[in-house]
Structure 1
Amino acid sequence: MSESNFHPARFQNRVALVTGGSRGIGRACCLRLAQEGARVAINYRSGQEDAQETLKQIEAAGGTGMLVQADVSDSQDVDRMVGEIESNWGPVELLVNNSGIFIYQSHRELTENDWRQMLDVNLTGTFLVTWRVKEGMLKNNFGRIVNMSSLSGLQPRPMSIAYAVSKAGVVSFTQSTAVAWAKDNIRVNAVAPGLIDTEILTGVNQDDLDKIIEATPIPRMGEVSEVASMVSFLLSDESSFTTGQTLVISGGRCMLP
């Protein structure tokens, strides 16, 4: 993506938090928001080296960032993380709930532990972080939230049942909170990526990936920068009359409505 596609002052001095910001889509969102003027808190759970690389890239480009370690499925961790951001920069104004885990498995392999872990991180984690930052947004009458759903939350996924359910829950959470806070100048939207070229695909059979690409009208995998562009748009004033929506970025493999 060329520099001309960025808006350097779009989020000037806004405080942003990107969960799962150490790599993949999360890193791309961190870099995009920083290039557009935001001060970006990069959340990670255990990948400290990856998170440090994200911060390094932000600072090399002249941006401002900070690392905040937390397990988003742990309410005490989330409270500590957001408190650290607030004490340094003030309330979170832009939130990207990107943390997520994915397991590719059949129904015969899916265990109760897998189910609980998937919902704890992907859905409850989205709730916990949002609930911790929303009071600051309500107090200041300003907030922009983008939740990371997935094409899996919109279509049947027999090889990732728990993941699909968790991401469908993110869509519903987005819709309900958008209505709850619309009059408080807080907009909540979601992005539902299709097949994106990230490390989350590790373990997925290459033949299965090839079949998905063949079934995609734009016959390729998406890039993380393309998802970050959508996220930036939804956080910006360019989408000022948009809330409660889930925007699909899938090369045409899923078309709504």
Structure 2
Amino acid sequence: MKLQGQVALVTGGSRGIGAAVCRRLAADGAAVAINYRSSEGPAKELAREIEAAGGRAITVHGDVADPAAAQEMVRMTIDDLGGLDILVNNAGVAQDALIFNMEMDDWLDVMKVNFGGVFHCTKAVLPHFMSKGAGVIVNVSSVMGERGWVGESNYAASKGAVNAFTRCCAMESARFGIRVNAVLPGFAPTDLVAGLTEGATGRSIKKQIPMRDFGEVEQIADVVRFLSGPESSYMTGSLVNVDGGAMTALGLGRP
């Protein structure tokens, strides 16, 4: 267990990619703080599952879009689990619309959570990581941050901001022994992208992916685990695609 003795905070950890990340880190020995905003039941159920398998887990309520909540999440994790070594910024939302039809709240709400959450949680954890001269931050971004897709302008812009922030944060933090990388999933069936991966739309999108299939949340969690562990000790500022080759093709940006 290469993460034995480590403590990880996973935002948006109760469902989808976040839950898979919690399971994967816990399976490799890390104690896990499962952050949730509204899914208290699934978060507590996941914590019980991890503990039943011999791991350690707590649930931490908080809205990553609120900087004070981010500070409190970090404090609770350190107090309850005895430290903090890994931050996985995974929490995200989507409010798809064509730009012509997009309302201001559609734009701001997505930016506040997807990018604001990364900023707030990173800022909250930096003093602790800097004081001990070590720490790992993994941002769960998206291939949308590097490409375009019809109806995804706000989401893509938020993830593009995460990608740029990842590079800058890596540069600023390296001298303190802190590594910052990002995972860029392609299409992986979760509640967030259910409208794009099901039915005729899903079948059409699969045809544009070189590997002709969607990813699984466990496959994304495996890459997060790699970036969290000692095997990636010489990696920082990296954006790692996990997309079945989708970014190698131009595509149409629509089903």
Counterpart for residue 85 of structure 2: 93
- Whether 1:71 and 2:85 are equivalent positions in the alignment is no
- Whether 1:229 and 2:222 are equivalent positions in the alignment is yes
State which of 95, 100, 103 in structure 1 corresponds to 2:95. Answer: 103
SS in structure 2 of the partner of residue 202 of structure 1: helix
Contact preservation (8 Å) 1:143, 1:185: yes
- Whether 1:124 and 2:116 are equivalent positions in the alignment is yes
Counterpart for residue 6 of structure 1: none
Displacement of 1:19: 0.2
Query: Aligned equivalents of 2:73 and 2:181: distance in 1?
Result: 23
Code of the aligned partner of 1:230: V
Query: Aligned equivalents of 1:53 and 1:154: distance in 2?
Result: 35
SS in structure 2 of the partner of residue 195 of structure 1: coil
Gaps of 5+ in 1: 1-8
Contact preservation (8 Å) 1:18, 1:97: yes
**Cα distance change of structure 1 residues 188 and 255 upon mapping to structure 2, 3 Å threshold:** farther
Query: Aligned equivalents of 2:101 and 2:202: distance in 1?
Result: 20
Code of the aligned partner of 1:153: G
- TM-score, scaled to structure 2: 0.94
State which of 44, 55, 65 in structure 1 corresponds to 2:36. Answer: 44
Contact preservation (8 Å) 1:104, 1:203: no
Counterpart for residue 198 of structure 1: 190
Contact preservation (8 Å) 2:96, 2:154: no
Query: Aligned equivalents of 2:128 and 2:201: distance in 1?
Result: 44
Displacement of 1:158: 2.6
- Whether 1:33 and 2:25 are equivalent positions in the alignment is yes
Deviations 1:87-137 (A, max 9, x none): 122332101000000123222331100100000000011000010011100
Structure 1 runs (4+) deviating above 6 angstroms are: none
Code of the aligned partner of 1:175: R
Gaps of 5+ in 2: 250-255
How do residues 1-257 of structure 1 correspond to structure 2 at under 5 angstroms?
9-204=1-196, 206-255=199-248
Aligned-CA RMSD value: 1.3
Query: Aligned equivalents of 2:229 and 2:239: distance in 1?
Result: 16
- TM-score, scaled to structure 1: 0.93
Deviations 1:33-77 (A, max 9, x none): 011111100000000111112112211211100000000001121
